[in-house]
Amino acid sequence: MHFSTTSLVFCLLVFQPFVYGQLDYRFYDSTCPNLTRIVRFGLWSAMANDTRIAASLLRLHFHDCISNGCDASVLLDETSSFQSEKDALGNRNSLRGFELIETIKANVEKVCPKTVSCIDILTLAVREAVFLTGGSYWPLALGRRDSVTANITAANTEIPSPFESLDNIIAKFTAKGLNLKDVVALSGAHTIGFVKCFAFKFRLFNFSGSGVPDPTLDASLATKLQNVCPNQDDSDNTLVPLDAVTTTKFDNIFFKNLVNNSGVLGSDQVLMTDNRTTALVVNYSRYPFLFAKDFGDSMVKLSNVGVITGQNGQVRNKCNLVN
C-alpha cells in the first residue's frame, strides 16, 4: 500500500495522544489559541536586544524544575510567609529573565486573562528560545499550575553545582526521575550562554594544590582563560562564554569542545573522562541530529518534573506574586 507524505502526517496527527499524564497538548486551544505566537514574539523581541536571554531562560527553567518541580516557584518574590528561591546560593545575583517572563505574562493576560500559568509561559518560552537560536523544537503538553509558595531549602540543596562531583550531579538528576542520558543531553544547554570566572578559576592556576592548571584542560584554552580571569578576586564576576566557538548558536559544538578538552567547567569536562558518559559525549559531538532529538526528549522529561495540575496550585495573575 502506498502512503503519501500527507497521509503519513495525517496518521501521525490522528494517532498521537493529546494527553501527557495530567497535561494536554491542546490545553489552551480554545481558551488562548494565540498563546505560542505571543510567547514567540516576546522572545524574538527580547533576543534582538539581549543575546544572552535564551541561555538565561534555560537556566531559570532548569533551576525551577530541578529544585522543587516545575511550578514557577523560582519566580516568586519574598513574602512574610516564605523566603524567595531567588536568594538561594545557586540563584542569587545570577538568575536572569524574570522581567521578560513578566512582560510575556502581561501580554498574555491582555488577550487571555486568568488563563495561562506562569510555569506554562516559562516552559514555552524556553522551547522558543532554543528554537530561535538554532536548536530543536519539541512538542509540549500544557496545563501546569503555579505554586503558592517557594522552597529555598530545596533550591539550596537540589540544584547541581559546578563544584560537585559527577556522582552527586547524577544523584540529583536521578532523584527527579532523570537518567544518565538526560544529564549529558541537558548539559548541552551550555552550548549557549556565559559563566562567571569564579565557577572554574580553581582549574586555572593551582588545581588540587598541584601548582599548575587542571591537566584535563587544553593548554591553549587555559592560557586564554588565565588572561581573562587572572588569579585575583576582582575577576570573579567576569563573564566567559561556555562555548567560545558559536556562543549564541544552539548546536553540538559544546560536545566537540569536550572531546578536545576545551570544556570551561570542570563539571562539564568530566563527562568526557567518565566511562559512564564518554560515549554519549562522543556521539553528540559527531551526530548533531542525535543531540537535537535527545535534548528535546530530555527537556520534555524535565518540564514534567513535579508539575501541579487540576485544581491544585493556581494560575497567578503576576508571576512574582501569589494571588
State yes or no: 251 annotated in a binding site: yes
Amino acid identity, position 111 = V
State yes or no: 73 annotated in a binding site: yes
State yes or no: 274 annotated in a binding site: no
State yes or no: 146 annotated in a binding site: no
Residue 293 CA to residue 77 CA, distance in Å, equals: 35
Q: Are 76 and 64 in contact (CB under 8 A)?
A: no
Residue 270 CA to residue 36 CA, distance in Å, equals: 37
Number of H helices, E strands in the chain: 13, 4
Amino acid identity, position 80 = S
Length reported for the chain: 323
**Residue 61 among the catalytic residues:** no
Q: Please pick, among 63, 172, 256, 301, the residue that the annotation labels catalytic.
A: 63
State yes or no: 64 annotated in a binding site: yes
State yes or no: 167 annotated in a binding site: no
DSSP labels, 26-60: TTTTTT-TTHHHHHHHHHHHHHHH-TTHHHHHHHH
State yes or no: 294 annotated in a binding site: no
State yes or no: 191 annotated in a binding site: yes
State yes or no: 113 annotated in a binding site: no
Closest CA to 177 of 278, 287, 54, 301: 301
State yes or no: 71 annotated in a binding site: yes
Annotated binding site for heme b: 190
Annotated binding site for substrate: 160
Catalytic residue numbers, as ranges = 63
Annotated binding site for Ca(2+): 64, 69, 71, 73, 85, 191, 243, 246, 251
Annotated binding site: 64, 69, 71, 73, 85, 160, 190-191, 243, 246, 251
